[in-house]
Structure 1
Amino acid sequence: METNSIDTLPADDSHAVNILTPQPVDKADRIQTIDLIRGLALLGILMMNIPGFGFLGSGFIALLSKPEGPDFYAFAIVGTAFEGTMRGLFSMLFGAGMVLFTMNKQEQENGPTVAEYYYRRLLWLVLFGMFNAYVLLWFGDILFFYGLCGMLLYPFRKTKATWLIGLAVLCLGINTIRTEIWYGGLRENRAGYLEATKLEKAHKKPTEKQKEAKAAWEKFENNRKPDPKKDAKELKAMRGDYGTVFAHLIPRNSESETYGTYFGTWDWLMMMFIGMALLQWGFFSNKLSTSTYALTLLIGYGVGLPISWFYVQSQVGWVQDPGSFVDTYRTIPFQVYDVRRILLALGHASLLILVYRSALVPWLMRALTAVGQMAFTNYLSQSIICTLFFYGYGLGYYGKLSYYQLYYVVAAVWIFQLIISPIWLTYFRFGPFEWVWRSLTYWKAQPMRRMVDVA
């Protein structure tokens, strides 16, 4: 998913640096808790992406049709506690990072303006997203969307937090209305199907409108049924060489970027606006009281987890019997998705900050912070590692692992990145992809080696 503010970030105001020439922020001037939370989100998002890398999509139908066993339990745990929350945190931090990027720069009489640096940075991010999708072949890339949505944030960089929350609510409302319009059409098709079926059983002729609704509902149900021939074609293509996988994924990548831009923009912007507001309130920069973080944790988990469990159960009902599901719910239960993930995202971030303050596991906090500081590199390296492990031009494990076994791969990638990231940053100022991005943004090669550790 879905990377976030993966650029360098300055520390709080007391550590602000008067920069005469725009440049990346030094390690000593970063806000550690932002890197820390970003590190958690970066690792956590792989839990949601891993099925896309290596699990046949139709497998979810079998998994949810019989809700028992290790596959379903893995799905239920990840779905209840983490689905959407890591991408939510990433989006929040991206919004915060966009503000910090502009705060860290001063206008120059000669040379590019802050706005030019800002948009240059995002244009490169869009291209990196296309690289991730069309070269690394990860159809679940989010860099492309973050670059596009980030371009809309600049005019709001100085907007007050309350207005930012209002904008987030507006985005949520637009998403809600659009979903209800779609679900309302589905319910109409279902009602027409039932009416047409009843008339046909009574040897009466349905109206043209009822026939159209019946056909639309039957198409909807048929599209949800497993197709062995389609699955076999999918497996053969994904286990092929690079050219075969590339050709197979071109339509999917194009559809994903088009669909995501059209339907996902309000989702991304909602979380980014929330992140910008939370930055103003000092939430991400560890400025609030311990009791505030503890209360946020209790509310986030206490309210978010029950709602999230209802969401997972709704997914089961949706797969097992969509007709009964639509007949039962006048409003689609999946509308709770954004509310639950906001609550859980804030709960996860609060828990992490409380652990950070307690100094219980300093080694883990340092490792997560390093992962977050190298989030851009780590995000793209997840694409490289997972495509090489699952796709045919690598080890070819696509479709060979059970759902729960996918998380063994996740754990291995986590361990690798938690070990490598702090070691790398001992010798270098940036991750390799961060260095490329910064050098392109400032149109000047940035110093890479760490001559003196100022931390």
Structure 2
Amino acid sequence: MKPTERTERIEILDYLRGFALLGIILVNILPLLSVKLPEQGTGDASYQRFLFLFVEGRFYTLFSFLFGVGFFLFISRANAKGKNGYFLFLRRVAALFILGWFHVKFHPGEALTVYAITGLLLLPFYKLKKEHNLALGLILLIALSIMASKLFMVVPLMLLGIAAGQYRLFEGVAGKVKKVVICIALLLIVSITGLIYQYQHAPSYPFGFYNGVDETTYQFLSIGIMIGPLVTALYVGVLILLLQFQIVQKLLSPLKSYGRMALTNYIFQTVFIYVAGYVFNLFESLTYLQSLFVCVTIYSIQIPFSMIWLRFFHFGPLEWIWRVVTYLEVPPLRKRVKGVH
């Protein structure tokens, strides 16, 4: 195992962001292309059930949590450099809101505007003690999970992300392996119990959950939202543990590049989905399994592109623009080639 140094903390977060992007698109594509309702007893029906057991409500929670972590790191690092971290953060979320405002016109369920507004509301919590942020975040998350309030769960998830930053959760992971393993074991037991409970309430028929659902389907989906953070925490724990092995880091390095350009790739997931929809006339004609094929195709474009782009540039395209607006200065985008002056 390789000790996790302070600088590698960012890398772990990039892996997690990339991992979150892999799951988010699998669900987002369904309403964007109006994917057809599966027929009972088909592979499409099985895949739909898989999505709502293991994907829906699992990856947006991770994305929200990571935004909270980034919230804390951004302000802390800006302040450490003698800059006004709060003022810079206000410009940062303002830029994010504007980008999200354009994005939401094409993707009604997009997260950037929600993150910008929530980040603004949670700004005072940056100075709150970590114990208070942790306690308040957990209490709110439990309450909103029980209520299956998916939208408002972003608030406690981001608050817990801030607390994670305050506790330096992602620093020195190599020295906390035993604790991580214990947490994973506990989360595995609880998650399996929750998933079995959700599966027991699964409708025996395929369902369309965008235009209203019956009571059985509503209960199934609500349970999924309720246990979502637990399953997400299990995914995160397993991935972090695996990343302590150098061979896993190398194998998953494309995921790190994908996560380093999370903003660009998140927006362009929507772009690629619509391009595929219009070029191949996929609206209201695509099946669930075919939507998976489209997502894999998008992965095969975005991940190699991210790797190649970051070989020559410091930031992703939208990340660079976001940085320019935040700092009101133009940082170098292209990397200097060694030996060339």
- Shorter-chain TM band: 0.7 to 0.9
Give the TM-score taking structure 1 as reference length: 0.65
Contact 1:149 1:265 in 2 (8 A): no
Moved more, 429-438 or 365-374: 365-374
| Partner Cα distance (1:431, 1:425) in 2 | 7
Say if 2:29 is the partner of 1:50.
yes
Q: Which runs of 5+ in 1 are unaligned?
A: 1-11, 16-27, 180-262
TM-aligned CA deviation for residue 176 of structure 1: 5.9
SS in 2 for 1:434: helix
Partner of 1:217: none
SS in 1 for 2:201: helix
Say if 2:306 is the partner of 1:421.
yes
Partner of 1:401: 286
Partner of 2:125: 156
Contact 1:378 1:417 in 2 (8 A): yes
Residues 29 and 361 of structure 1, relative CA distance in 2, 3 Å threshold? closer
Residues 405 and 366 of structure 1, relative CA distance in 2, 3 Å threshold? same
TM-aligned CA deviation for residue 313 of structure 1: 4.5
- What root-mean-square deviation, in Å, do the aligned CA atoms of Structure 1 and Structure 2 show? 2.9
Say if 2:266 is the partner of 1:297.
no
Amino acid at match of 2:98: L
Partner of 2:65: 92
Say if 2:13 is the partner of 1:34.
yes
| Partner Cα distance (1:29, 1:265) in 2 | 31
Moved more, 344-353 or 264-273: 264-273
Contact 1:93 1:272 in 2 (8 A): yes
Give the TM-score taking structure 2 as reference length: 0.86
Give CA deviations for 1:55-113 in whole Å, capped at 9, x if unaligned.
34xx44x55xx3x220121112222222211111111111111000010013898xx73
TM-aligned CA deviation for residue 315 of structure 1: 4.6
TM-aligned CA deviation for residue 347 of structure 1: 1.1
> How many residue pairs are counted as aligned between the two chains?
329
Say if 2:74 is the partner of 1:105.
no
The one of 138, 149, 167 aligned to 2:136:
167
Say if 2:44 is the partner of 1:71.
yes
Amino acid at match of 1:146: Y
Say if 2:314 is the partner of 1:440.
no
SS in 1 for 2:86: helix
Residues 306 and 406 of structure 1, relative CA distance in 2, 3 Å threshold? farther
TM-aligned CA deviation for residue 50 of structure 1: 1.6
| Partner Cα distance (1:333, 1:409) in 2 | 26
Residues 266 and 139 of structure 1, relative CA distance in 2, 3 Å threshold? closer
Contact 2:12 2:240 in 1 (8 A): yes
SS in 2 for 1:360: helix
Amino acid at match of 2:246: A
Moved more, 277-286 or 74-83: 277-286
Contact 1:107 1:113 in 2 (8 A): no
Partner of 1:269: 155
SS in 1 for 2:152: helix
Give CA deviations for 1:161-212 in whole Å, capped at 9, x if unaligned.
3322322234236536866xxxxxxxxxxxxxxxxxxxxxxxxxxxxxxxxx
Give CA deviations for 1:232-287 in whole Å, capped at 9, x if unaligned.
xxxxxxxxxxxxxxxxxxxxxxxxxxxxxxx7553111111222223333433452
Task: Tell which structure's C-alpha radius of gyration is larger.
Answer: 1
Give CA deviations for 1:5-54 in whole Å, capped at 9, x if unaligned.
xxxxxxx9x86xxxxxxxxxxxx686210111111011211112121222
